[in-house]
């Protein structure tokens, strides 16, 4: 029942939306606020975007109140219909000149002539919140000897970083350049530079400091690469002597 409005708003998967599905409903609400309605400032949308939080229903009701939504928050289909109508109105207001010349016939002609794009990327069909996906990440952490994070998506980032840095083709061919040999740096014995009075906080500060230094080194490496690239261009100028003149 919402497909036409969702399609008009260029929603990613209008055919798969289900107003009675909690995850689908929350994701649509966040998308509408981010892309079309924009009632909140960007920095104030955090509570609404935290769709897995137990406090999300409170943020949801507060959001509807801010919009002066006349619909009962518990009537999800009615809320969706009202929000879509509001988004369509804002979309039209932002692009009045564009839609003034639109007719039903023009839209039909474009839909008939537009090529159909078939998505062949299997990653787009994954449900990143499904139990199977979470279990798969846990199995990967066990195989790669990585400590899992409570948020499985953060764990996935750690897995991606490990694979890209230590299991890439270049790393496997030259492991000595990636996996350094020798005694490990005694990070927790190093001087932090300040004292918090708490051992755990001191240890966390030392770890953060080391990560910051690592990021600085990576940034410096990229800067050096840019300098070398520029020098390769400027240090070997091409001169056309036929364009030169002597005297006046």
Instruction: Look over the chain and give the mean of its residue pLDDT values, rounded to a whole number.
Output: 82
- Please tell me the predicted confidence (pLDDT) of residue 121: 66
DSSP single-letter state for residue 147: P
3-state secondary structure 206-232: HHHHHHHHHHHHHHHHHHHHHHHHHHH
pLDDT value of position 248: 45
pTM of the model: 0.44
Tell me if 36 sits within 8 A of 91, measured CB to CB: yes
244 pLDDT more than 60? no
Q: Do residues 83 and 37 make contact, with C-beta atoms less than 8 angstroms apart?
A: yes
Give percent above pLDDT 90 in the chain: 21
- Spatial separation of the C-alpha atoms in residues 191 and 37, rounded to whole Å: 50
Burial pattern 73-101, b for ≥16 Cβ within 10 A else e, equals: eeebeebbbbbbebbeebbeeeeeeeeee
CA trace torsion 123, 129, 131, 134 (10° rounding):
70
- Res. 226: pLDDT tops 70: yes
Plot region of 197 (φ>0 → left; ψ -120 to 50 → alpha; else → beta) = left
pLDDT digits (tens, 9 = 90+) for 2-26: 888 888 888 888 888 888 889 999 9
* φ, ψ (nearest 5 deg) of residue 25: -65, -45
31 vs 109, higher pLDDT:
31
Query: Do 65 and 59 touch, CB atoms closer than 8 A?
Result: no
Closest among 81, 86, 26 to 51, alpha carbons compared: 26
What pLDDT was estimated at residue 111?
60
pLDDT band at 83, cuts 50/70/90? very high
Between CA 65 and CA 40 the distance in angstroms is: 12
């Amino acid at each position: 029942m919402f497909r036409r409005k969702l399609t008009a708003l260029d929603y990613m998967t209008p055919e798969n939306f289900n107003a009675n599905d909690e995850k689908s409903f929350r994701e649509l609400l966040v998308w509408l606020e981010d892309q079309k309605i924009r009632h909140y400032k960007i920095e104030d949308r955090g509570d609404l975007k935290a769709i897995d939080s137990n406090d999300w229903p409170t943020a949801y009701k507060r959001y509807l109140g801010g919009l002066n939504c006349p619909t009962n928050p518990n009537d999800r289909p009615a809320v969706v219909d009202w929000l879509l109508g509001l988004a369509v109105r804002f979309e039209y207001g932002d692009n009045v000149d564009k839609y003034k010349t639109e007719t039903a016939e023009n839209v039909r002609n474009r839909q008939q002539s537009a090529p159909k794009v078939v998505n062949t990327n299997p990653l787009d069909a994954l449900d990143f919140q499904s139990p199977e996906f979470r279990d798969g990440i846990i199995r990967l952490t066990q195989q790669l000897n990585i400590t899992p994070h409570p948020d499985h998506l953060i764990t996935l980032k750690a897995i991606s970083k490990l694979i890209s840095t230590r299991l890439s083709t270049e790393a496997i061919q030259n492991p000595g350049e990636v996996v350094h040999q020798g005694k490990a740096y005694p990070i927790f014995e190093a001087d932090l530079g300040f004292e918090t009075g708490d051992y755990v906080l001191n240890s966390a500060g030392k770890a953060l400091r080391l990560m910051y230094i690592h990021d600085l080194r990576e940034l410096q490496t990229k800067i050096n690469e840019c300098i070398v690239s520029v020098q390769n261009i400027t240090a070997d100028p091409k001169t056309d002597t036929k364009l030169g003149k002597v005297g006046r």
